[in-house]
Structure 1
Amino acid sequence: MSDAPTDAQQACFEAGIKFGSLYHQFAGTPVSPASTDSLETAMAEAIGNQPHCEWVSVDILDDRVADAIDHDEGYAELTGSLMEVEMRIDYEGTAVRTRMTMEEGYPRMRLVAIEN
């Protein structure tokens, strides 16, 4: 029989759930430089509704969105390469800070710190 997860392990798990939800729920959403602010807010508020989520910051990078538009319709599809995300998840008094940024062409979701 294995031991129960620690609060830190559970907090990390919760952060992973939030990142998976954020990324896969919103990937492919049409976005233009004019709509980044409202999409950032919608994403942060949607993920912020989940249990143990203390705060979420979504930054959709307007310059990358503009560069990604490759047709006359004026929008691109949202991908990890167009945004940076930070979260703080608090589980039973143990908080984890996480970040998603591009690393070598891939959106990496990383644990930044565990805070007790």
Structure 2
Amino acid sequence: MISDREQAVFEAGIKLGALYHQWVGTPISRATASSVETAIEGAVGLQPYVTAIRVRLNRDLMTENPFGYSELTGAMFSAEITTVYGKARCVAALAYTGEYPLMSIRSIDETP
């Protein structure tokens, strides 16, 4: 059997991976970025064990193509998610490191 702690970490990781792969390539502009952030938060927040999600997109990287929009890339993401499973809580993040959009665990704690 796996622990609550391991399951909370798994839930955070799988949700960040899905977030990344579902939204990369989405047409976006500085004018629509806020609504896309809200849509991502709303969609991910519906999933089991998610207690908090915050998504911010780097508007400085949104350069318009000839049709007036950009495509969402991994470098634009800054996301933090909190999952709770049983007695364990995991805070994980997705952020561009300068080389790669890396997912990482920020903290894990358990209630007695």
Q: Which TM-score applies when normalising by structure 1?
A: 0.90
RMSD in angstroms over aligned alpha carbons?
Answer: 1.0
Residue in structure 2 matched with residue 14 of structure 1 by the alignment: 11
Q: Distance in 2 between matches of 1:8 and 1:59?
A: 27
Q: CA deviation at 1:42?
A: 0.3
Q: Which amino acid aligns with 1:55?
A: A
Q: Which amino acid aligns with 1:38?
A: S
Residue in structure 2 matched with residue 31 of structure 1 by the alignment: 28
Q: 1:110 aligns with which of 80, 88, 104?
A: 104
Size of the alignment, in residue pairs?
Answer: 110
Residue in structure 1 matched with residue 56 of structure 2 by the alignment: 59
Residue in structure 1 matched with residue 75 of structure 2 by the alignment: 81
Unaligned runs of 5+ in 1: none
Structure 1 segments, 4+ long, off by >2 Å, are none
3-state SS of paired residue (1:105):
coil
Q: Which TM-score applies when normalising by structure 2?
A: 0.93
Unaligned runs of 5+ in 2: none
Is contact 2:13-2:92 (8 Å) kept? no
